[in-house]
Amino acid sequence: MANLEIDFCGIKSPNPFWLASAPPTNSGYQVQKAFSEGWGGAVWKTIGAPVLNVCNRYGTIDYKGTKIMGLNNVELISDRPIEVNLKEIRETKRLFPKHTVIVSVMVESKKESWQEIIKRIEDTGADGFELNFGCPHGMSERGMGSAMGQVPEYTQMVTEWVMEVAKTPVIVKLTPNITDIVVPARAAVKGGASALSMINTINSIMGVDLDTFTLRPDVGGKGGHGGYAGKAVKPIALNMVSAAASDEVVQKAGLAISGMGGIEDWRDAAEFMLLGATSVQVCTAVMHYGFRVVEDMIDGMSNWMDEKGFKTPADFIGKSLPRISSFGDFDLGFQTVARINQDKCINCNLCYIACNDAAHQCIDMKTMQLDPDQIKMQPVVREEDCVGCDLCSKVCPVDDCISMVQIETGRPHITWNELIKARPEILNDWDKMEEYRKTANIHIH
């Protein structure tokens, strides 16, 4: 069995699976139970300023009969007194010395307040801090959470305050409710952070009740934006993690990244790690099923690592980062066409209608005799017209029925950036573009 231990900016953790700062890490009872079921670490639910909560606190997106594709919440940071939290953190670390306990913090924007609470937390023996610059609801209106994370100068300033007194590693948690994640990530680097974590939840309104016209979640007839999380946000999170992980400033500073956003199982976790996350954090899957989901995360990742020949997570963390490129550097000569396996086709014709109405009209319905006593209309790709967009295989409900096959068309293997360097005239002149297309054997019908 593979060794799942990680080293997260000096913090050794038995495995990369951490609970995110959220309701599952609200108390010592919960975190200790989670550790006993296999979680490698936990980020304690944010402690700091005094708060009062409301109800209802959650809204969900249920998709086609499946519950909780996405979960939104308007719950605030810990509503338990700081003393109680500190006592339980100390006790938890004493009972589970090898497990990672990170404490999430959020106080008002005053240097003394931040430095005081950091010192008090450090006294518990916790392994590090996570600065909550991401909470998008309730706290942001009071000038905390995402209100700080959305202003790079604040992010840097508070990080600097904390770094002045912190002896253990400091993780800056970033909000996705910004335009470019790299900007606040660099602000954290400037402030001297030891690591980054992302993404916090996304601003969202979950829906409107069509009978009562109230919002979801419904707080006594009113509603408002809350933080969106769960499987639905995973692609957004993956993009942000990879953007931060491949940023040269972040890389040069050597900051570790803890990735989160929609991680439900070991495969999701592996994807975050391939894109540069050293540890991953989970909340929604635990909110739905309990701490026990970690057993398959450990087992599944370990089996996958054995199969791939990875001895430790370090062997694959960031392995897919070199593949991150941009449009200007893609090969314009890489051409694929769709091929339909007629033996597997079940005649739903979704590929035909998708191609015809929403793509490039290159699938025809043709009369075919597949066996001696049956003549049927089958979808057939006109390969010479297929642009290789891949929509048909995406809508096909049958596994391995439509495959995208690479073909050589004689087009030059050149990137957009190379092309416009060689022929800058095509950038603004359609006639020149047409001329180039002819020479490059590119026909667009």
Partner 1 sequence: MAEHYKPVKYKPWEMTLEERFQEYHPALTEREAVLEANRCLYCYDAPCMTACPTSIDIPTFIKKIATGNVKGSARKILEANLLGATCSRVCPVQELCEGACVLNEDEKPIAIGRLQRYSMDYAAERDIKFFKAGESNGFKVAVVGAGPAGLSCAGELAKLGYAVTCYERKAMSGGLDTYGIVVFREPVEISLAEVRMVEELGVTFKNNVSIGKDITMAQLVEQYDSVFVAVGLGNVPSMGVPGEDLEGVVDGLDFIEETKVKKLDEIKHGKRICVIGAGNTGIDCATIARRLGAERVTIIYRRSETEMPAYHFEYQFAMGEGVMFMFLTQPIEIVGENGKVVGIKCVRMDLGEPDHSGRRTPVLVPDSEFVLPCDMVVTAIGQEKHNEMLHALRAFGVKEVKHYISVDDETRRTAHHKIFAGGDCIRHKGEASTVMAVQDGKLAAAGIHKQLAGAGTCSTDKKTVSAPNK
Question: Least distance from C-beta 114 to partner 1, angstroms?
Answer: 30
Return all residues near 164 (Cβ < 8 A) that are at least 6 apart.
115
Q: Which of residues 83-122 bind partner 1 (CB under 8 A)?
A: 95
Question: Least distance from C-beta 86 to partner 1, angstroms?
Answer: 16
Cα angle: 138, vertex 142, 143; to 5 degrees: 115
| 63 lies in the binding site for partner 1 (CB under 8 A) | no
Minimum CB distance to partner 1 smaller for 357 or for 371: 371
Q: Write each residue from 24 to 43 as x if it is in contact with partner 1 (CB under 8 A), else as -, in one continuous string.
A: ---x-x--xx--x-------
Question: Least distance from C-beta 39 to partner 1, angstroms?
Answer: 12
Q: Which of residues 211-270 bind partner 1 (CB under 8 A)?
A: 265-267
The neighbour count for residue 437, using CB atoms within 10 Å, is 14
Minimum CB distance to partner 1 smaller for 343 or for 399: 399
Q: Which residues pair with 71 in a beta bridge?
A: 60, 229
Name the one range near partner 1 by CB under 8 A: 15-23, 56-64, 252-260, 295-303: 295-303
CA distance 419 to 409: 18
Say how many residues touch partner 1, by CB under 8 A: 21
Residue 307: enclosing H or E segment and its boundaries?
helix 293-308
Helix axes 82-95, 28-36, angle to 10 degrees: 20
The neighbour count for residue 113, using CB atoms within 10 Å, is 15
Q: Which residues pair with 219 in a beta bridge?
A: 222
| Cα distances (angstroms) measured from residue 8 to each of 18, 195, 200, 257 | 12, 8, 19, 8
| 425 lies in the binding site for partner 1 (CB under 8 A) | no
- In the block, tokens 């497990």 appear at 99
Q: Which of 63, 289, 330, 334 binds partner 1 (CB under 8 A)?
A: 289
The neighbour count for residue 157, using CB atoms within 10 Å, is 18
Answer for the pair 225, 205: CB distance below 8 angstroms, yes or no.
Answer: yes
Question: Least distance from C-beta 299 to partner 1, angstroms?
Answer: 4
Catalytic one of 9, 55, 135, 396: 135
| Cα distances (angstroms) measured from residue 421 to each of 411, 418, 426, 429 | 18, 5, 10, 15
Minimum CB distance to partner 1 smaller for 33 or for 360: 33
Minimum CB distance to partner 1 smaller for 27 or for 279: 27
CA distance 281 to 198: 9
**Is residue 351 among the annotated active site residues?**
no
Phi, psi of 133 (to 5 degrees): -105, 30
Minimum CB distance to partner 1 smaller for 99 or for 137: 99
Minimum CB distance to partner 1 smaller for 346 or for 427: 346
Q: Which of 87, 94, 292, 366 binds partner 1 (CB under 8 A)?
A: 292
The neighbour count for residue 251, using CB atoms within 10 Å, is 15
| 303 lies in the binding site for partner 1 (CB under 8 A) | yes
Counts for the chain of helices (H) and strands (E), in that order: 15, 20
Question: Least distance from C-beta 28 to partner 1, angstroms?
Answer: 8
Question: Least distance from C-beta 289 to partner 1, angstroms?
Answer: 6
| 295 lies in the binding site for partner 1 (CB under 8 A) | yes
Name the one range near partner 1 by CB under 8 A: 71-79, 252-260, 299-307, 332-340: 299-307
Minimum CB distance to partner 1 smaller for 9 or for 42: 42
Minimum CB distance to partner 1 smaller for 66 or for 212: 66
Question: Least distance from C-beta 105 to partner 1, angstroms?
Answer: 24
Q: Which of 1, 52, 64, 66 binds partner 1 (CB under 8 A)?
A: 66
Phi, psi of 324 (to 5 degrees): -75, 125
Three-state DSSP class for 13?
strand
Residue 296: enclosing H or E segment and its boundaries?
helix 293-308
Minimum CB distance to partner 1 smaller for 130 or for 271: 271
| 274 lies in the binding site for partner 1 (CB under 8 A) | no
CA distance 438 to 418: 18
Judged by phi (left if over 0) then psi (alpha if -120 to 50, else beta), residue 153 lies in alpha
| 350 lies in the binding site for partner 1 (CB under 8 A) | no
| 290 lies in the binding site for partner 1 (CB under 8 A) | yes
Return all residues near 177 (Cβ < 8 A) that are at least 6 apart.
136, 146, 149, 150, 200, 202, 203
Instruction: List interacting residues with partner 1 (CB under 8 A).
Output: 27, 29, 32-33, 36, 66, 95, 265-267, 289-290, 292-293, 295-296, 299-300, 303-304, 399
Indicate which residues carry an active-site annotation: 135
